[in-house]
Amino acid sequence: MDFTKLAMLWLALSIAGCSANEAPVPAPPAKTVFDPLTQNIDKAKAVQGTVDESALNARKSLEAQERGDASAQ
């Protein structure tokens, strides 16, 4: 085996040995100027969910009262 083939084999093995088997762990996203805005949107969505749930309960109660259910009062 001549020197060039041996050098190429050594180079290939050293490159293969240095490669990682696992993907690197991504860094958490950096804070941006839009963070307060997205937090406000998340809060608004949570409040909207509460309002929707309350409206559904009121609608169910009203429908029950229209049917004359005494348990809905």
Measured CA distances, 48 to 41, 52, 54, 56 (Å): 10, 6, 10, 12
Residues with Cβ within 8 Å of residue 71, at least 6 apart in sequence: 64
11 or 23, greater pLDDT: 11
16-55 per-position pLDDT tens digit: 766 556 677 788 778 888 888 889 999 999 999 999 999 9
Q: Where along the chain do its domains lie?
A: 34-73
pTM: 0.46
